């Protein structure tokens, strides 16, 4: 989590870094800070709160070299002191990740006279650099990192040096060249500023100056790393016509389905992938949050297409209780960013046990792509809102295509057709507003469905709670009478999804059970007869465009994303930056 940036060039660094931080703020936004260096002096401004808080201090930060940070606190509350950069002697440091052995290092350094002022794990890095510094920045970084356990991306400013150092282990760091030289946690910060980028390898130490970038390995042997053109992501910057990224990104759902289909047809060796899936003794999927919910949908899709058992696992659990795999198994790691620490580790464990690893990810240069045997791209483009929307839709599209490798043309045309319906839903919104208002007026919101609708209910509930903070749960409609019905009264809303004709009668029973207990009900359905039957009897009903049950989740999840978005706005929340959350969960 968190974003780091670095700049060395001819322009004033403070403004460059501020712009970079604003683009990375979705990775963490509880505090922010910048250090610049000018003729041997380091200037620092840092504050608890959003990146904007730094604006009044930028003028005082002189120099054309600097580093910056937007934080998602892991150790120590979000306040001015704990904000990065952290300083010691000639050093100023920003850190993304967790230093697991910080307590023992801190004790050791304190014993030799170092005084700590923050509660963070990161401050220890600045003190270690000071401890090891002997006039050579790169060497101090090498020696300090050799003492660290955990994960990190670090940018280090040294008063003696006209430039900065960057290094990483298990947290992402990208270098950029353009009008000046850049470092950042992800490519998004470089858009519009760099023309090419390079993904640092674990252990690399880069020295970035206004004159260029030199990269060394962890033993300070110079290494060559490829720089690639930075192009398409540039178009994603900004919210366009929409007030928030979340709405903009929901409106890109249809585009994501089309782009994912298009890219899929160019994936090399699809027949070999098909054979691998057909011959596998089991398929296990690992993911967290929304990606895990997409994996639930994959279980139905892949389970219907291949003979072997298919299961989905929450990655943070799978790390410690790994699904049993063999050399004939396939593990599918699902991660929007491709950097999710728990998913990476669960995938590594499966791979070490012999499984063939497939990555389903939205970020082509991410860590998961480097350990995977096969990468299946989700072409959502940059997703800036912390709550995943279009990437979930893209993951669903990818699983549909994986499930129909026998007959991919037919499935693609179905997907392209359903994309039209998705577009219609996303560009409207009157029904979403009505249901969102009911959500905001309710003590709790339950999302219910059967079959394919269960997965949508679970994801719809996650979406609502993460952006609106309204208590919510999603589960199978048949379970209602086994416990949750006890909570239903006139203050509770149940959003009932009915998109599978074969299960509609049973789902209607759940609606009747709720109405009999005076519970509030909103129906979301693709079935006109269900809509007609309940219209006027329930608090709200939304008829979606028609679609076969196996494709309906594209429509119903787009509808639930919009409801969550509208509820967040009505409740006065910032849907793009929910409290306590951040994008790219690179810590465990």
Strand (E) positions, 53-103?
65-71, 86-88, 91-99
Q: Taking the complex as a whole, how short is the minimal distance between the CB of residue 17 and ligand GLU, in angstroms?
A: 16
Active site residues: 2, 583
Pairing of strands 540-543, 520-525: parallel
Q: Burial-class residue 528 by CB neighbours within 10 Å (0-12, 13-18, 19+).
A: exposed
- CA torsion sign, 488 to 491 to 497 to 503? positive
CA 95: distance to chain centroid?
19
**Cβ nearer to ligand GLU, comparing 480 with 582:** 582
Q: Burial-class residue 485 by CB neighbours within 10 Å (0-12, 13-18, 19+).
A: middle
Distance CA 356, CA 354 (A): 7
Residue in the structure block whose two tokens are 């198994």: 329
Q: Taking the complex as a whole, how short is the minimal distance between the CB of residue 1 and ligand GLU, in angstroms?
A: 5
**Cβ nearer to ligand GLU, comparing 25 with 177:** 25
Q: Taking the complex as a whole, how short is the minimal distance between the CB of residue 585 and ligand GLU, in angstroms?
A: 10
Distance CA 397, CA 417 (A): 12
Q: Taking the complex as a whole, how short is the minimal distance between the CB of residue 32 and ligand GLU, in angstroms?
A: 10
Q: Taking the complex as a whole, how short is the minimal distance between the CB of residue 226 and ligand GLU, in angstroms?
A: 27
Q: Taking the complex as a whole, how short is the minimal distance between the CB of residue 141 and ligand GLU, in angstroms?
A: 17
Question: Among all residues, whose Cβ is closest to ligand GLU?
Answer: 2
**Cβ nearer to ligand GLU, comparing 1 with 358:** 1
Residue in the structure block whose two tokens are 């047809």: 265
**Cβ nearer to ligand GLU, comparing 75 with 147:** 75
Q: Coil, strand or helix: which one is 320?
A: coil
**Cβ nearer to ligand GLU, comparing 340 with 395:** 340
Q: Taking the complex as a whole, how short is the minimal distance between the CB of residue 271 and ligand GLU, in angstroms?
A: 42
Query: Which residues does 566 contact at the CB level (< 8 Å), separation at least 6?
Result: 429, 432, 433, 435, 436, 437
197-225 in b/e form (b: 16+ CB < 10 A) is bbbbeeebbbbbebeebebbebeeeebee
Distance CA 208, CA 9 (A): 9
Contact 253, 390 (CB under 8 A): yes
Distance CA 72, CA 161 (A): 29
What is the edge-to-edge ordering of all strands in the sheet holding 164-169? 86-88, 91-99, 150-158, 164-169, 205-209, 212-216
- Residue 283 Ramachandran class (φ > 0 left, ψ -120 to 50 alpha, else beta): beta
Q: Which residues bind ligand GLU (CB under 6 A)?
A: 1-2, 28, 71-76, 95-98, 120-122
Q: Taking the complex as a whole, how short is the minimal distance between the CB of residue 71 and ligand GLU, in angstroms?
A: 4
Distance CA 365, CA 49 (A): 30
Angle, alpha carbons 332-338-340 (nearest 5°): 95
**Cβ nearer to ligand GLU, comparing 80 with 414:** 80
Distance CA 287, CA 496 (A): 26
Q: Taking the complex as a whole, how short is the minimal distance between the CB of residue 586 and ligand GLU, in angstroms?
A: 7
Element (H, E) at 197: strand 194-199
Distance CA 282, CA 272 (A): 17
**Cβ nearer to ligand GLU, comparing 120 with 442:** 120
324: its two tokens:
């049993």
Contact 193, 21 (CB under 8 A): no
Q: Taking the complex as a whole, how short is the minimal distance between the CB of residue 7 and ligand GLU, in angstroms?
A: 19
Q: Taking the complex as a whole, how short is the minimal distance between the CB of residue 241 and ligand GLU, in angstroms?
A: 32
**Cβ nearer to ligand GLU, comparing 520 with 583:** 583
**Cβ nearer to ligand GLU, comparing 72 with 534:** 72
292-331 in b/e form (b: 16+ CB < 10 A) is bbbbbbbbbbbeebbebebebbbbbebbeebbebeeebbb
**Cβ nearer to ligand GLU, comparing 150 with 163:** 150
């Amino acid at each position: 989590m968190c974003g780091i940036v670095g700049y060395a060039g001819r322009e004033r660094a403070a403004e460059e870094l501020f712009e970079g931080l604003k683009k990375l703020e979705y990775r963490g936004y509880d505090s922010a800070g910048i250090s610049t260096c000018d003729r041997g002096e380091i200037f620092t401004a840092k504050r608890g709160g959003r990146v904007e808080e730094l604006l009044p201090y930028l003028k005082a930060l002189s120099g054309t070299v600097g580093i910056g940070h937007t934080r998602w606190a892991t150790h120590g509350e979000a306040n001015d002191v704990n904000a990065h950069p952290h300083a010691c002697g000639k050093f100023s440091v920003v850190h993304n990740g967790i230093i697991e052995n910080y307590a023992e290092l801190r004790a050791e350094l304190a014993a030799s006279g170092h005084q700590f002022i923050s509660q963070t794990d990161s401050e220890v890095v600045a003190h270690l650099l000071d401890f090891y510094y002997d006039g050579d920045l790169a060497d101090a970084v090498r020696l300090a990192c050799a003492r660290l356990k955990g994960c990190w991306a670090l940018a280090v400013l040294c008063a003696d040096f006209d430039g900065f150092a960057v290094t990483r282990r298990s947290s992402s760091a990208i270098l950029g060249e353009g009008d000046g030289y850049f470092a950042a946690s992800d490519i998004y910060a470089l858009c519009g500023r760099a023309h090419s980028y390079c993904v640092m390898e674990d252990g690399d130490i880069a020295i970035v100056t206004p004159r260029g970038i030199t990269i060394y390995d962890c033993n300070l042997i110079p290494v060559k790393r490829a720089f690639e053109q930075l192009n398409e992501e540039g178009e994603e910057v900004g919210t366009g016509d929409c007030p928030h990224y979340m709405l903009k990104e929901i409106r890109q759902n249809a585009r994501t389905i089309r782009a994912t289909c298009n890219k899929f047809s160019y994936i090399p060796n699809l027949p070999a992938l098909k054979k691998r899936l057909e011959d596998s003794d089991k398929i296990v999927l690992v993911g967290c949050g929304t990606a895990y919910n997409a994996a639930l949908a994959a279980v139905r899709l892949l389970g219907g297409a291949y003979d072997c058992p298919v299961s989905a696992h929450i990655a943070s659990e799978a790390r410690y209780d790994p699904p049993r795999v063999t050399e004939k198994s396939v593990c599918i790691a699902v991660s929007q960013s491709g950097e999710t620490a728990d998913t990476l580790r669960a995938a590594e464990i499966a791979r070490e046990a012999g499984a063939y690893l497939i990555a389903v990810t939205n970020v082509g240069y991410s860590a998961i792509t480097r350990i995977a045997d096969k990468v299946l791209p989700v072409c959502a483009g940059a997703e800036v809102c912390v709550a995943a929307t279009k990437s979930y839709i893209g993951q669903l599209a990818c699983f549909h295509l994986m499930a129909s490798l026998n007959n991919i043309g037919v499935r693609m045309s179905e997907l392209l057709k359903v994309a039209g319906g998705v577009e219609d839903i996303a560009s409207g919104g009157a029904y979403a507003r009505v249901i969102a208002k009911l959500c905001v007026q309710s003590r709790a919101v339950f999302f219910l469905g059967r079959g394919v609708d269960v997965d949508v209910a679970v994801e719809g509930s996650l979406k609502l709670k993460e952006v609106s903070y309204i208590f919510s749960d999603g589960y199978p409609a048949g379970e209602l009478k086994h416990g949750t019905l006890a909570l239903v009264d006139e203050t509770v809303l149940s959003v009932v999804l009915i998109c599978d004709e074969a299960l509609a009668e049973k789902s209607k029973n759940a609606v009747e059970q709720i109405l009999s207990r005076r519970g509030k009900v909103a129906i979301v359905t693709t079935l006109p007869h269900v809509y007609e039957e309940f219209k006027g009897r329930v608090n709200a009903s939304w008829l979606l465009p028609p679609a076969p049950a196996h494709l309906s989740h594209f429509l119903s999840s787009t509808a639930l994303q919009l409801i969550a978005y509208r509820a967040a706005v009505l409740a006065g929340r910032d849907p793009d930056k929910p409290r306590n959350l951040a994008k790219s969960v690179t810590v465990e």
